Structure formats: structure tokens, C-alpha cells
Amino acid sequence: MNSLRPLDLVVIAIYFVAVAAIGLKFARRQTTTEAYFVARRSIPAWAMGLSVFATIISSITFIAYPGAAFKGDWNQLVPGFMAVGVLLVLGTILIAFFRHAVGMSAYEYFEKRFGYGARAYSALAFSAGHFSKMGFVLFTVTTAVCGMTGWDKYNVIIGVGLLTILYTLVGGLEAVIWTEVLQGLVKIAGVIVVLGVLISIMPGGAGAAFQLAAEKNKFSLGSLNFDLTANGNFWVMLLYGAFFYLQKYAADQTLVQRYLVAKSDRDALKGVALGAFLCVPAWTAFMLVGTLLWAYYQLSGEVFPAQLLDAKGQVIADRVFPFFLTTKIPAGLAGIFMAALFSAAMSTMSSDLNCLSAVGVEDYYRKLRPDSTDRQRLFVGKIIIAVSGLLAISVGAFIASKGDGALKLYYAATAIVAGGLAGMFLLAFFSRRANRQGLWIGIISALAFTAWATLTGGKYQMLNLGWNYTWPDVMIGVIAHVIVLVVGYGASWFFPADTNVKSEWTFWGWLEKRKTLKPENPISSAVAEVNP
């Protein structure tokens, strides 16, 4: 398929025009950093929830989940359960705590507990991970788009990247959130379209597909034997998901910034809960797409063309979904899915751009220039968005040109730099005895372990030292979090206790303080300590 049909192009054009219009609509309102980074703390819960949903469901989800289910089972779905699990256990505590403990950056809290060095490190770890992710998201969207259209992959990366930079730059977080509302709805429509087409053309109907998939154990969530050294083990993926979403809720600016835009603590909790509860059925739907794709080609007996096969004649799972979209989706409906695919990349990138800007301004520029005016900080924030966006486009193009070699560097770099933030939060929040010296020993230990494990083990092994990491890749992050927590706590006892730690900055002290706060007070006096 060398080009989309006219009706598909019309649908895509309408989507792009709507996104640009939303960004321009909010441009005049972006006169302060309060508006630009936290949307005047005035976003309704339902819109915030759709924003959280749209941010998490990226173009990687659109390609990776169907590919994983086509090739294997539903084991990759297991971590997603913890998006709800962690929220149910800690959500009421974490969301209210951050709304009263920080002003605009999640990493203000780490400065209160461990000094500015901890704040700078955590902000850098977040920035490194999310900056590289933007480039990878841009690259991923080309897998399906170019497979369906024949468009040049570099033109797609540049076009999507520039439009995203435009509406994020001019419209601030308000534009990001309201475009994500549209994008979230488009994503839901996109996956419904694909499932509807698959079921309608399935040989023997949906019943035959489900029966065949069940016989071949395609719905399995992995082995239930408790073995943390085994790939595809249910408990490995559940543990990975628990730490991954703990880090999301407690140390990730993209989510913490969403807490701050809500009108009240209650609205913030409702919004995050809506986003999490939307994500799980969406992930399930994408896994179902992959399983039904597998069943369709099994039942229909259709032969895959050569471009879907590797050198050994095996089907390349990630290419099947784009091929199906190219050959089976009717005119107009293909445009809806294409718009959903574009929205998946753009929502993730726009959210990351605004968050990177907020971190750059609040965690670095404001410290370097404490006497800067709000107008100067706003100007710097816009520069950060423009520069970060252009660099992300460059990273996406680089990955597109280098393929697996670049992916090795991507996984290695992000795993090493971004490790341990969940452990860092647990240490800060649940231990009053933990101090900055112990924290840094924990961080250095975790970085050393992560570097060794990432470089010597896993799918993208780069070194063979004879004594290599052999556990599942996803356990690297889990172990790094545990190292920061355990080593950091143990090392803290070798140094004097920090007498400047306020009780309210730790779990039990916060529970006591919360009793004295008005339920709907959006921000406490604690914020003024960092942002006077």
C-alpha cells in the first residue's frame, strides 16, 4: 500500500487540525509558570484522568503489545495490573502528600529529605529516561505508519515531532491535557475499530478464535511457580510492575505534575484512578488484538509475504499488525486507527516535553538564578521545550537509521541512569533515620549493579565478563530499587542522624499532619518553603 485512501487522509487531517487548534486556543493564557506548568490547578478530574490514560498509552503500546501476544501469551500484561494495585494500596497517601509537599516539581521533596544533590540527581535520572523515550516513541510510530502508507520514515518522525513541539510550546500544560483528552478518545476508537474488523472477518467467528487460542494457551499470564530467575514468570512480572508503578506514582514528574493540576485532593485521586482503570482494559484490548491476529492467520491459512519473515523464515511478530492494517482495514476506519497511532506518539511526547521543561526550570534554572523573574523562567521553559523536542526528533531519526545497534545503547543507557528512584522514595518516606550519606552509598551501589547487569546480561548484552547477569531483564530495575532502599538504610546508621528532617516529610508524620489540614486545601504552606 503506497498511500492511504482519500477518506483516511481526511480523517487524519481533521485530527491534526483539531490538535493544532487546541494548542493555539490556550496560547494566550500561558503568561505565568503557574499556568504553563500546572494549568492554574484548575483541570477537572475526568479530563485529568483521560490525560493520564493518553500519556501512558504510547505508540510503543500500539506495536509491542499486539506483537507480544501474537508471538507468545499475555505475560506482558501482568505488570499493568499493578497500575491499579499500587494505586489502591498507596494512592490516597501519595497523591495528597505530593499536593501538599511540592509546588511544581516532584523532586522538590528529595531536596527536603536529602539536600539539593538528591533533587538534582533524581531530576536528571527522570530527564534522561524520558528524553530518550521520546526519540524511541517517534521511531516506533514509523513502524506502523510507514508500513501502511509507504511514507518516508524520516518525514514522519520530523512531521509528528514538529507539530507536537508546536502545540506544547504555545499552549503549555493546558494544551497538553486537553489534546490528550481528544487523543485518549481517539485511541479508544482506534482499538475498537481494529477489534471490530478482526471479529467480523474471523473464519468461523470469534468463538473459533477463542477456542483455538485457549487450546494453545495463548491467554496464559505466565508460570505461577515462584521463580524470580525465570523469564515469563507471573511473579517476576508482577514484582516488576509493582516497582515500576511505584516509581510512576512517587517519583515520575509526568504523574506527579498531574496531581498538581487538579482542583482538590479528591479530584486528583479520582483523575489518577480513572486513568489507571482505563489503562488496564486498553492494554488487555491490545493483547487481544495480537491473539486474534494470530488466530486469524491460523484459521485463514493465509501465507505471509517475504517482508514479514526473518532470515530463518520465521514471522517477525511486530510487523504482522501493520501488515494487517494495510490489507484488511476498510477506508475511513484505517484513518481512525492512523489518527490513534499518531495520537499515541504525540500525547506521550507532549507530556514529556512539558515535564522536562518544568524540571529544567524548577530544579535547575531556578537554583542557578534564584533572583530570576517568573517571566524569565517562562521564557527559559519554552526554550527547553523547543530544544528538547528537536533533540528528540534527532534521536528518533538516529534510531531509525541504526536499528538494533541504537536500541542496545538506548536500553543500556536508560536502565543505568534511571534506576532506583522508587527505592529512593521508599527510603525517604518510610525511614526518618535515613540520611543523605546513606542515600548516596545506596545510589552508587545501585548504579554499579545496574551497569554490570545491563551490560553483561539480557537480550542486548554488550560485555562478557565471565561472571554475567543471568536473571530476567525486568528484574534489573527491581533489584536496583531494593539496593537503594536496603543499602541506603543500612549505610545511614554509620552517620549521624539528620536533625533537620521534619516529621511531616515521612509516612507517620504525614498521617498526623493530614488530620490538621482542610480536606480540599490544594497546596500547603510547605510549598512556600521551596517556592516563596
Average pLDDT over residues 290-302: 92
Which pLDDT score, from 0 to 100, does residue 306 have?
83
Q: Are residues 132 and 231 in the same domain?
A: yes
Q: Are residues 63 and 167 in the same domain?
A: yes
Q: Are residues 483 and 346 in the same domain?
A: no
Low-confidence winner among 33-37, 93-97, 313-317, 528-532 (lowest mean pLDDT): 528-532
Which pLDDT score, from 0 to 100, does residue 414 have?
53
Alpha-carbon distance 26 to 174, whole Å? 7
- 412 is a domain residue: no
Q: Are residues 188 and 294 in the same domain?
A: yes
Q: Are residues 233 and 323 in the same domain?
A: yes
Which of 373, 400, 427 corresponds to the end of one domain? 400
- 406 is a domain residue: no
Average pLDDT over residues 116-128: 92
Alpha-carbon distance 491 to 489, whole Å? 6
H helical segments located in 57-152: 59-71, 78-101, 108-114, 116-149
Which pLDDT score, from 0 to 100, does residue 419 have?
67
Which of 334, 365, 400 corresponds to the end of one domain? 400
- 275 is a domain residue: yes
- 125 is a domain residue: yes
Q: Does the pLDDT of residue 256 top 50, yes or no?
A: yes
Q: Are residues 392 and 501 in the same domain?
A: no
pLDDT-derived band at 114, boundaries 50, 70, 90: very high
Which of 347, 371, 400 corresponds to the end of one domain? 400
Q: Are residues 348 and 431 in the same domain?
A: no
- 409 is a domain residue: no
Q: Are residues 451 and 375 in the same domain?
A: no
Could you give the number of structural domains in the chain? 2
Q: Does the pLDDT of residue 315 top 50, yes or no?
A: yes
pLDDT-derived band at 439, boundaries 50, 70, 90: very high
**Domain encompassing residue 117:** 6-400
Q: Are residues 299 and 448 in the same domain?
A: no
Q: Does the pLDDT of residue 314 top 90, yes or no?
A: no
**For residue 285, what is the domain's CATH number?**
1.20.1730.10
pLDDT digits (tens, 9 = 90+) for 354-394: 999 999 999 999 999 999 999 999 999 999 999 999 999 99
Note the pTM of the prediction, 2 decimals: 0.88
pLDDT digits (tens, 9 = 90+) for 1-12: 445 678 888 888
Alpha-carbon distance 502 to 45, whole Å? 31
pLDDT-derived band at 520, boundaries 50, 70, 90: low
Alpha-carbon distance 108 to 287, whole Å? 38
Q: Are residues 386 and 469 in the same domain?
A: no
Residue 261, CB-side half-sphere exposure with 13 Å CA sphere:
31
Q: Are residues 130 and 28 in the same domain?
A: yes
Alpha-carbon distance 256 to 311, whole Å? 45
Average pLDDT over residues 324-352: 84
pLDDT digits (tens, 9 = 90+) for 44-90: 999 999 999 988 888 778 888 888 899 999 998 999 999 999 999 88
Which pLDDT score, from 0 to 100, does residue 81 have?
93
Dihedral of the CA atoms 303, 305, 311, 312 (nearest 10)? 0
- 443 is a domain residue: yes
- 493 is a domain residue: yes
Kindly tell me the burial class for residue 520, based on how many C-beta atoms sit within 10 Å of its own C-beta (0-12, 13-18, 19 or more): exposed
H helical segments located in 205-332: 205-215, 234-251, 253-261, 265-300, 317-328
Q: Are residues 431 and 388 in the same domain?
A: no
pLDDT digits (tens, 9 = 90+) for 462-475: 788 889 999 888 88
- 259 is a domain residue: yes
Q: Does the pLDDT of residue 406 top 60, yes or no?
A: no
Which pLDDT score, from 0 to 100, does residue 231 have?
83
